[in-house]
Structure 1
Amino acid sequence: MTRTSPQPAVAETPLARTRRARRVDRLLAQRYPDARCELDFTDAFTLLVATVLSAQTTDVRVNATTPELFARYPGPAELAAADPDELEAILKPLGFFRAKAKAVTGLSRALVEQFGGTVPRRLDQLVTLPGVGRKTANVVLGNAYGVPGITTDTHVLRLSRRLGYTTSEDPLVVERELGALLPRRDWTMACHRLIFHGRRTCHARRPACGACPLARLCPSAGIGETDPVRAAALLKG
């Protein structure tokens, strides 16, 4: 059983919304104690490249590709000098491989020429790299350098709207409004938990509302399957 539209939003004070958001995060921490970045990486450079490559494909596919990539090109200098045909052949399983090859060679060249081959630790510097926006920069800062950041990937954007944290579809607005609800120290892990929940329970097309631990706190509860048995069958991971 499903409903075709969310429940009408209940008037909520900013303080009540903050308290609800933090309770949601605590519940997600219980549900997903192993929440983490699901891209394999060994340092800031490998995470940066893997994140750029993850556009319009899955982390699983990226993780299957990067071992060969980094064995051949272990650092920015090597990747900047990569033969285009050889690099494209490695990246072909990811889709859009020509564009991705240009992106990772371009950012590697910029790292070598502008930052001495080191991935910068500041957001304003990271976003100057070709193909690197705020989302990618915050992934690197939060997971490689321990600098808290809001990662506005597709799951975080969708769940932030469904949970009533924002009505915006603008990633910058969502980043600001979600960040205002949570302690800064929790930003990175809170986003991991939202991503885990989006991938496993709160799907884009058929959310498993009847198996969701957030149902009582979610203004969109009921837009997906509400029968507990049928909802449980929709869970992934």
Structure 2
Amino acid sequence: MVRQLPYSAMRQVFERFRESEPEPKGELEHTNAYTLLVAVALSAQATDKGVNRATRPLFEKVSTPQQMLELGEEALIEHIKTIGLFRNKAKNVMKLSRILVEEFGGEVPNSRAALESLPGVGRKTANVVLNMWWGMPTQAVDTHIFRVANRTGIAPGKDVIAVERAIEDNVPADFARHAHHWLILHGRYVCKARKPNCAICVIADLCPKEGVE
């Protein structure tokens, strides 16, 4: 496993990320905490672009858990049938919507434990919602972050929880809020799995290039 970058290098990495993209944004379209939660839940094993195509017309009709319940599961399936695992995801969205109405007053909770108690909502989904809607410095580790964190030495770890903790422990606090978005975007568009584009990488001189031929 590649070694953890020293603190001085970590600061340089995130200073460069911030300089190139001062306010990184998630790419899932949403209008409030509820539509963000639904979009993130639907995005498992799917692309953000594919989810956005499905949810644009859906979110014109639905923006609250109660409206989702009124829409109904079959109508929801019609909206999201282009997304992988759509039937199971539809069931979970309906279940979590009912729980939000019955147990949370129709509001999306802002604690990780409460979010993870909802059907179809795991740690990564909870962390995305907490970060994107409430601005908490949570770290949602997906395949892009896991790869970049280990390849560059930013936050090496043997599994997603280890990488999440390494980010929390080693990324300077003033970069923590946007850290996971910078890493996702870097992995999605620069440090790609099969052929990383080191020629345009802003941290190439700081990177040990672990796993890069």
Q: How does 1:137-148 map to 2 (within 5 A)?
A: 137-148=126-137
TM-score between the two structures when normalised by the length of structure 2:
0.91
- Are 2:165 and 1:176 aligned? yes
* 1:149 and 2:133 correspond: no
Alignment of 1:87-102 (within 5 A): 87-102=76-91
Post-superposition Cα deviations, 1:165-219, rounded to whole Å, max 9, x if no partner, equal 3442321111111111123453231111111111111001111123212111111
2:28 maps to which of 8, 29, 39: 39
Cα gap change, 1:29 to 1:152, in 2 (>3 Å): same
Which of 32, 50, 53 does residue 61 from structure 1 map onto? 50
Q: How many residues align?
A: 213
SS across alignment from 2:120: coil
**1:82 Cα offset (Å):** 3.5
- Equivalent residue for 1:22, pick from 1, 4, 11: 11
Q: 1:72 aligns with which of 47, 50, 61?
A: 61
- Alpha-carbon spacing, 1:140–1:82, altered in 2? closer, same or farther (3 Å): same
Contact 2:32/2:63 (CA < 8 Å) preserved in 1?
no
| Aligned equivalent of 1:201 | 190
Q: Does 1:119 align with 2:108?
A: yes
- Indicate the percent of aligned positions where both proteins have the same amino acid: 42
Matches within 5 A, 1:155-234: 155-220=144-209, 223-224=212-213
Q: Check 1:171–1:51 CA distance in 2 against 1; reply closer, same or farther (3 A cut).
A: same
CA distance 1:51–1:222, change in 2 (3 Å): closer
Q: Name which one, 1 or 2, has greater alpha-carbon Rg.
A: 1
Partner AA of 2:69 in structure 1: A
Measured in 1, the distance between the counterparts of 2:114 and 2:174 equals 21
Task: Point out the more displaced range, 197-206 or 32-41.
Answer: 32-41
TM-score by length of 1: 0.82
Q: What one-letter code is carried by the residue in structure 1 that aligns with 2:94?
A: T
Question: CA contact under 8 A between 2:65 and 2:100: conserved in structure 1?
Answer: yes
SS at match of 1:203: coil
Picking from 126, 133, 144, the partner of 2:122 is 133
Distance 1:146 1:170, change over 3 A: same
Classify the secondary structure of the residue corresponding to 2:14: helix
| 8 Å contact from structure 1 (residues 135, 153) kept in 2 | yes
Residue of structure 2 in register with 1:228 after alignment:
none
Segments of structure 2 that go 5 or more residues without pairing to the other structure are none
